Amino acid sequence: MMQNQWDALCKATTSIMAEHVQPFLSPISYSEGNDYGKLHGTGSYILFDDKEYLITNEHVGNLDKKTTLQNQFFKDENIYVLRNQFKSKPHPIDVAISYIDKELWSTHTQYAQAIPSKRFALKHNPYKNELLFLAGYSGERSGFHYNNLISRCTPYLTQEMALPDNIQVADADFHFSLPYKPDLATSVDGTSSLPDPHGFSGSLVWDTKRIACLAENREWEPSMAEVTGILWGWPSSSPCLLATRVEKLSLKDLL
């Protein structure tokens, strides 16, 4: 494949996946008073056993008790208090889920969607050089204005890299890594750039299946993509993002 063809493939995949996952996403913020709030992380709505949950990291969901965590729904500017306590697993897994009341969820089903459990891969095992995708909310691109959280989601397409051996908090049995070098990234729209990733914590990592389909000469659809991990870290020692492998999440233990 020529470089221009590869660039076009990556741009198209990024745009298609960004549109596909947007209904699943929620910025997670917190409030410490009537007039102050701040983005805290990224969450996604998931559907397990006919119940909707918000999934994020344990270090995002288990904020101190003096603060109140909040979520949002696709195409709804309102901010909602997360009323149900997060059930979680700490590092090295770093995952948490909070049940979304049916009454609240039912008022947002016109636009918001939840990821079915069947779209979680059984194991992190993408095809060689597969394109992986995530979408998260950066604190750099979020702010409270007139008691409303204005957040701009950042889509990011990349390929897995070898887990650096100088990161003490990372374990190859639990984790994988993605390169994150904003100065080398290509913008889809030609104007934006990659932000500081603080706030990306809790973003789901998708195995797009795009390269696998190319290799097998199959038509690709974004609905083929599977969740292959959850992002939790950005080490200062290496230009990469860290994620927990999907098979280590064992989400049914938290239901």
pLDDT (average), residues 61-86: 87
pLDDT, tens digit (0-9, with 9 covering 90-100), for 139-186: 555 455 445 555 568 899 999 999 999 998 999 999 999 999 865 545
What burial letters (b/e) apply to 213-222, b meaning 16+ CB within 10 Å?
beeeeeebeb
pLDDT (average), residues 86-107: 97
Residue with tokens 């119940």: 51
**Given this model, what pLDDT does residue 98 score?**
97
Please, are residues 243 and 132 in contact by the beta-carbon 8 Å criterion?
A: no
Q: What is the average pLDDT value for the chain, to the nearest integer? A: 89
Residue with tokens 């394109």: 131
**Given this model, what pLDDT does residue 15 score?**
96
Is the peptide bond preceding residue 27 cis, with omega within 30 degrees of 0? no
**Given this model, what pLDDT does residue 199 score?**
82
Strands 148-158 and 132-145: antiparallel
Does the structure show a pLDDT above 70 at 64?
no
Give the containing element (helix H, strand E) for 153. Answer: strand 148-158
Q: Taking the CA atoms of 144, 145, 148 and 149 in sequence, report the sign of the dihedral they define.
A: negative
Residues 6+ apart with CB under 8 A from 183: none
**Given this model, what pLDDT does residue 104 score?**
97
pLDDT (average), residues 17-22: 97
pLDDT (average), residues 60-67: 78
**Given this model, what pLDDT does residue 185 score?**
47
pLDDT higher at 143 or 41: 41
